[in-house]
């Protein structure tokens, strides 16, 4: 894809592009927003270097792509900004160094996430994104046939019995907040993208079990499918600078924030755009099992 409004510079072979020549703090035209959205759908994650955005401007930019959610279903927002999740690692937030797609434990996970770099380590603290569409395309045909039929339960609940010995008190306290309301949702393992029509693996760190299979069977199958998502050729790695903005399609990616920066400060702020109900290849929609997401997605509460 090309645009007459900005330059598109691919960052890796299968995912990721930097958009050059756009000031996100300016009053962007509908045509520019349309081209940014098309670039997002094609490249899955897009980057804007050294932007001059504050929290209010970040929310305003996100609103050009749809309704904005509250910061998180369970974790408190940035004071004065109910839509902004403040991730101040090392001070108030726990490091999310695992592969995941944002908030898949609710029935309508975000369409996309917009992350703004506030404070970045001198070395380390990169983020990696993976293309779940190319991962699905890489599957051998017989594995695709299996994945096409599978549904998985996603939840924000943890296995505390397993983790009780190894978790720090700080992490236990954070998880208590994170799971203050437990959500469970049944999602298709293969999701059809509502804009591109592409099929992608819709799994990640919040998957707890595949419907109809034992925990052991589920773990083995998810581990196999996940190995295709995280193959290096399906990923892109971004080295942050202060002011950078990353915008990813939450319907077609997973990501991993690398916790390799020791005690250095790392602070980023995230805004999420409300999404729709995921759809399987045979047209069935995701189903909420436990938890009401209407407070997280204000448009549902209004309806």
Q: Over 70: is that where the pLDDT of 221 sits?
A: yes
Q: Provide the annotated active-site residues.
A: 100, 102, 255, 270
Q: Over 50: is that where the pLDDT of 302 sits?
A: no
Cβ-Cβ contacts under 8 Å for 11 (sequence gap 6 or more): 17, 18, 47, 236, 238
pLDDT digits (tens, 9 = 90+) for 227-256: 999 999 999 999 999 999 999 999 999 999
Per-residue pLDDT at 39? 98
pTM for the model stands at 0.94
pLDDT digits (tens, 9 = 90+) for 50-87: 999 999 999 999 999 999 999 999 888 999 999 999 99
Structure tokens at 91: 């001070």
Cβ-Cβ contacts under 8 Å for 34 (sequence gap 6 or more): none
Q: Domain with 133 in it: what CATH number? A: 3.60.130.10
- The whole-angstrom distance between residue 141's C-alpha and the CA centroid of its chain comes to 27
User: CA-to-CA distance for 137 and 147, rounded, in angstroms?
Assistant: 12
Q: Is residue 2 part of a domain?
A: no
Domain with 54 in it: 7-302
- ∠ CA 248-251-252, rounded to 5°: 75
Q: Considering its fold, how many domains does the chain have in total? A: 1
Give me the mean pLDDT over the 255-275 stretch: 95
- Dihedral pair phi/psi, residue 53, rounded to 5°: -110, 145
pLDDT band of 163, cuts 50, 70, 90? very low
Per-residue pLDDT at 93? 54
Higher pLDDT among residues 236 and 90, named by residue: 236
Closest by alpha carbon to 56, among 83, 89, 23?
83
Q: Is residue 199 part of a domain?
A: yes
Q: Is residue 1 part of a domain?
A: no
Q: Over 90: is that where the pLDDT of 301 sits?
A: no
Q: Is residue 266 part of a domain?
A: yes
Give me the mean pLDDT over the 98-122 stretch: 97
Neighbours of 258 (CB within 10 A): 13
Structure tokens at 99: 């592969």
- Dihedral pair phi/psi, residue 273, rounded to 5°: -100, 130
């Amino acid at each position: 894809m090309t645009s007459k409004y900005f330059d598109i510079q691919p960052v890796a072979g299968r995912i990721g592009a930097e958009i050059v020549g756009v000031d996100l703090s300016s009053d962007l035209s509908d045509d520019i927003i349309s081209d940014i959205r098309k670039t997002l759908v094609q490249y899955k994650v897009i980057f804007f270097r050294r932007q001059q955005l504050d929290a209010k401007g970040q929310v305003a930019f996100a609103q050009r792509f749809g309704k904005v959610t509250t910061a998180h279903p369970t974790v408190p927002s940035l004071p004065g900004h109910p839509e902004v999740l403040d991730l101040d690692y090392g001070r108030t937030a726990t490091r999310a160094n695992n592969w995941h797609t944002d908030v898949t434990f609710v029935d309508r996970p975000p369409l996309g996430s917009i992350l703004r770099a506030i404070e970045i380590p001198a070395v380390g603290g990169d983020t990696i994104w993976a293309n779940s569409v190319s991962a699905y395309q890489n599957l051998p045909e017989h594995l695709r046939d299996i994945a096409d039929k599978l549904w998985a339960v996603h939840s924000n609940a943890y296995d505390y019995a397993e983790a009780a010995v190894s978790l720090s008190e700080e992490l236990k306290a954070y998880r208590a907040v994170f799971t203050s309301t437990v959500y469970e949702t049944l999602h298709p393992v293969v999701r059809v993208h509502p804009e591109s029509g592409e099929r992608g693996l819709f799994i990640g760190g919040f998957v707890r079990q595949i419907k109809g299979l034992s925990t052991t069977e589920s773990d083995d199958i998810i581990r196999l499918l996940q190995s295709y998502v995280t193959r290096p050729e399906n990923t892109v790695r971004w080295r942050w600078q202060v002011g950078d903005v990353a915008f990813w399609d939450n319907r077609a990616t997973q990501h991993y924030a690398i916790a390799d920066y020791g005690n250095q400060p790392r602070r980023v702020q995230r805004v999420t755009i409300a999404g729709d109900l995921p759809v399987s290849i045979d047209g069935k929609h995701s189903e909420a099992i436990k938890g009401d997401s209407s407070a997280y997605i204000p448009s549902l509460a209004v309806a």
